[in-house]
Amino acid sequence: MSSRITCEVRDGSPVTVVRLAGILDVGTMRSVHRTLDACLAAQPDALVVDLGAVAVEDRLALAVFAATARRAEEWPSVPVVLCAPPPTAARWLAESTACRVVPVRRDCAEATRAAGAAVAPRLRARLEPVAEACRRARELVSDACARWQLPEVAGPASVVLSELVGNVVRHAGTPMQVTLTLRRPYLHIAVVDGSRQAVQARTPDVRTEGGRGLLLVRQLAKRWGSVPAGNGKAVWAMVPAI
């Protein structure tokens, strides 16, 4: 973190609060972005960013919060709330089309309540890189869709998660964490493994389970992607759940 801006991360449950202090401008926004990315990689249920001790010297630097909110929407699919911006920054946030995706609250207590209220239903499981992992993944989807009354989503979501898990088994070979999150209008699916190796859509191969590669994920998900997560990566997909 830049010496011109510091942060304090408080990992509360279910909300992680990041308190920024110092000067926010285009020179320090990268440090803030890295800090917020690291917080998201820990997969909190919600993230609050406290701006009460920040002097915002360039309105362009506020784009870091819009970028964080967009990243959080895809993975780990959690709400991001800002609080206590100084008056000029509050006006800039209100005027910015990009930043309107980020809710702003008066103080940290109000923001924490709002973020906590927006926490989405979630199921998680840790799987080993063995052939049975794909079957366990499908069972997890069936359980989630039954709990959340999404019978029409179970089929496509099972295919998507099975392929993502199978990809870890075949190529990464590490333990993985599987997460299903219902943030309508999507069921968010994520698999975090211990390899930084990039994922690629491959030519279909009927000889292996899930061998049709990530082509099916492309077809069934509204969006999908991969981002670094700790020492590995997260591969995520958003399946329509209207």
pTM of the predicted model as reported, rounded to 2 decimal places: 0.88
Mean pLDDT estimate for the chain: 91
The model's pLDDT over 29-87, given as tens digits with 9 standing for 90+, comes to 999 999 999 999 999 999 999 999 999 999 999 999 999 999 999 999 999 999 999 99
> Which amino acid appears at position 77 of this protein?
S
Mean pLDDT lowest for which of 6-15, 163-172, 210-219? 210-219
CATH for 122-240 is: 3.30.565.10
- Helices and strands: H and E segment counts in the chain: 7, 10
User: What is the H or E stretch that residue 223 is in?
Assistant: strand 223-229
Mean pLDDT lowest for which of 33-37, 43-47, 132-136, 208-212? 208-212
Give yes or no for a contact between 20 and 33, defined as CB atoms under 8 angstroms apart.
Answer: no
pLDDT > 90 in the chain, percent: 84
Task: Check pLDDT > 80 for residue 212.
Answer: no
Six-digit token string for 175 = 């333990």
How far, in Å, CA of 155 to CA of 141, rounded? Answer: 9
Q: Is the bond into 87 cis (omega within 30 degrees of 0)?
A: no
CATH for 5-117 is: 3.30.750.24
Domain ranges of the chain: 5-117, 122-240
